[in-house]
Chains A and B, each alone.
Chain A
Amino acid sequence: MRTFDWIVVAAYLTWIVYDGLKRTKNTSEVEGYFLANRSLPWWAVGLSVMATQLSAITLVGATGQGYADGMRFVQFYFGLPIAMVILSVTLVPFFYRARVFTAYEYLEQRFDLKTRTLASVLFLMSRGLSCGAIIAAPAVILSIVLGWNLTLTILAIGLPTVLYTMVGGVQAVTWTDVKQMVVIVVGVVAAVIMLIAGLPDHIGVGKALHLAGAAGRLNPVDFHFDWRQTYTFWSGLLGGLFLMLSYFGCDQSQVQRYLTAKSVQEGRHSLLMSAFVKIPLQALVLLTGVLVFVFYLFNQPPLLFRPVVVEKIQKSARAGELQGLESQFTQAFEMRRAASTALADAAGEATGPARAAFLAADARVSAIRAQAATLARELGEGGYKDFTGDTPTPDVNYVFPTFVTTRLPPGLVGLIIAAIFAAAMSSIAAELNSLATASVIDIYRRLIRKEASDAHYLRVSWMATGFWGVFACFVATFAAGLGSLIEVVNRFGSFFYGSLLGVFVLALVFRRTNGHGAFIGLLAGIASVATFALHPATSGVSFLWQNPLGVVVVLIVGLAVSAATGGRPAASRT
């Protein structure tokens, strides 16, 4: 990073923190602090919903996926628009009518205190840990790619976010989300423009896309059904539908976004914004990665994208092998570049010698990279056994930051690093805000101190936000050193989603079910999903299918236990 880039990043951070800190209007009461007095316009809430979902690891991970494996990842979101319509018709009006602060508060109104508390505690556990992972993942990448100190990077992302979230509450979160979403989109569009401008003179956009298609990178829709594949039309549409229903309907970090809207209609419209925009936006992010792949057809990419691994091999007794592979890689790259030009000149012919030569050259490049991955694995880098497309999986998240920092001009590097910061901070702020809300409303105000002034609860809310911020930074520092822990944390969180959705379906659809059924059903659902995910016989099934499983188990157990314990008194059925 050059001086101008530092100025851009510093300007972004200053602007966002200043903007967040000045959003303290009407935050002297708990409802103002947590729900902005239900006064925000749909478009601001809609952008906040999208910014919360789009974390930094999604941004750099999706571009890396596009580079390594093409556009198939977009199918993950095919269930989202349908989920948004279902939620707009069902949960959104229920939450508004119940005048709740948290999704779990509604569970007490419908079932009982123990079900609410269990759901809230599960949310606090999983989101508290995942918030650390959300900070750690981009911090590790940025610290390595930019050469920054890891702890300082974690603090650079975490501290400003904690500061404005603590002081400004949900208004600060929402209005900074709006600006951060703009920064992210501008950053991605700028990257696309630079990628297109960086193509050789004789390669237009059409030829570039033909090359990407020939290399199997334009594969956004796959109608094959396979339980083990996460990125197919059916996994995305059905498994993804349940995941999105759970995430947007039962996760406080999202529910709280649309509870701040002016009315139930505005809340619905804020969700529908994602329904319209999410898939095209995700396709654009993936296409950025695909264009990075095309860019690297004509400009030599690194053999391995993680500089720490390369340094480790260079310092080992096997440095000579790496040098040999680097030399072979350069030759293979030159052959692929020539084959790419020939195929582009043949207008991306569907069959024929130019295409065959291109595919052979591309396979050669992949084979040499696989040998380098084997070398890394043999030197103790265990993650290098897995591949995403033709790229070692641990390298995928480094592709886009490497391209940005080594190939883009000063200023633009700063803008895109700011966009990565924005993606991280917008997700973290919403998480911290929702963690504080659940802690104060579901635990402190409900179980510890029921009667106190708004000023008291507000002080506790500030403290809760600060506590979760410090906790997240601490977890991030710890998680960053143990790469696989991030995956464990994410997997841990995914155990709850389907089961939580199941409890809300019990609440809304089955009027005879009671608190015992919901509580035991929730526990049974989590136990089933955890067993399913960890058992050797079923662990290969895509995690998306864990969500419908959780729903089904909760419904069956919840209905059975409710029936066995006398159901719900007729007088309380509404």
Chain B
Amino acid sequence: MADADVTDARTRRLFVGVFVCEAATIFGLWWFSRIFS
């Protein structure tokens, strides 16, 4: 299998990290606006 087809473990963890981070960021922004509104 070519290198291009392989998604290594680190990259897969990064993918999960992206989704977790985005959810946390959006929640954080929403929470931030709730505190100061």
Q: Which A residues have a C-beta under 8 Å from some C-beta of B? A: 71, 74, 78, 81-82, 84-85, 88-89, 93-94, 96-97, 206, 209-210, 212-214, 218-221, 233, 263-265, 268-269, 272, 275-276, 279-280, 283, 348, 350
Contact = CB atoms under 8 A, between A and B. Distances in A.
A239 B35 CA distance: 29
Nearest to B21: A276
Interface string B6-34: 01101100110111011001100110110
User: Interface of chain A, helix or strand or loop or mixed?
Assistant: helix
A272 B4 contact: no
5 contacts: A96-B3, A213-B35, A221-B30, A268-B11, A279-B22
Interface residues of B, number: 24
B15 A221 contact: no
A492 B17 CA distance: 36
A221 B30 CA distance: 6
Given A78-B26, A89-B7, A265-B11, A221 B33 contact: yes
Contact of B29 (A74, A212, A269): A74
A85 B3 contact: no
B11 A219 contact: no
Given A218-B32, A220-B32, A268-B11, A82 B26 contact: no
Contact of B14 (A94, A210, A221, A272): A272
A213 B36 contact: yes
Contacts of A89: 7, 15
Given A220-B30, A280-B25, A348 B19 contact: no
Contacts of B2: 97
B18 A272 contact: yes
Which of A93, A221, A283 has its CB near the most chain B CB atoms (within 10 A)? A221
B22 A210 contact: no
Contacts of B17: 276
A218 to B, nearest CB: 4
A210 B25 CA distance: 20
Nearest to A236: B26
A88 B6 CA distance: 11
Contacts of B21: 81, 275-276
3 interchain residue pairs of minimum CB distance: A213-B36, A93-B4, A220-B29
A96 B7 contact: no
A96 B29 CA distance: 36
Given A210-B36, A269-B11, A71 B4 contact: no
B4 A97 contact: yes
Given A82-B18, A276-B17, 20 more contacts: A74-B29, A78-B26, A81-B19, A85-B18, A85-B19, A93-B4, A94-B4, A206-B36, A210-B36, A213-B33, A213-B37, A214-B37, A218-B32, A219-B37, A220-B30, A220-B32, A264-B4, A265-B11, A279-B25, A280-B25
A85 B11 CA distance: 10
B29 A71 contact: yes
Contacts of B25: 279-280, 283
Contacts of A218: 32-33, 36-37
Nearest to B23: A81
A279 to B, nearest CB: 5
A222 to B, nearest CB: 10
Contacts of A206: 36
Contacts of B33: 71, 213, 218-221
Contacts of A88: 7, 11, 15
Contacts of B30: 220-221
A89 B7 CA distance: 8
A238 to B, nearest CB: 14
Contacts of B37: 213-214, 218-219, 350
A558 B4 CA distance: 27
A88 B7 CA distance: 9
A231 B3 CA distance: 39
Contacts of B19: 81-82, 85
Nearest to A283: B29
Contacts of A84: 18
A272 B22 CA distance: 12
A295 to B, nearest CB: 16
B36 A212 contact: yes
Nearest to B26: A221
Nearest to B14: A272
B14 A269 contact: yes
Nearest to A79: B22
B33 to A, nearest CB: 4
A141 B18 CA distance: 36
A214 to B, nearest CB: 7
B12 to A, nearest CB: 10
B29 A275 contact: no
A97 B8 CA distance: 16
A275 B5 contact: no
Contacts of A272: 11, 14-15, 18
A232 to B, nearest CB: 12
A350 B33 CA distance: 13
A276 B33 CA distance: 21
B13 to A, nearest CB: 11
A89 B16 CA distance: 13
A554 B22 CA distance: 30
Nearest to B27: A221
B3 to A, nearest CB: 6
B36 A276 contact: no
Contacts of A283: 25, 29
A272 to B, nearest CB: 5
A96 B4 contact: yes
Contacts of A93: 4-5
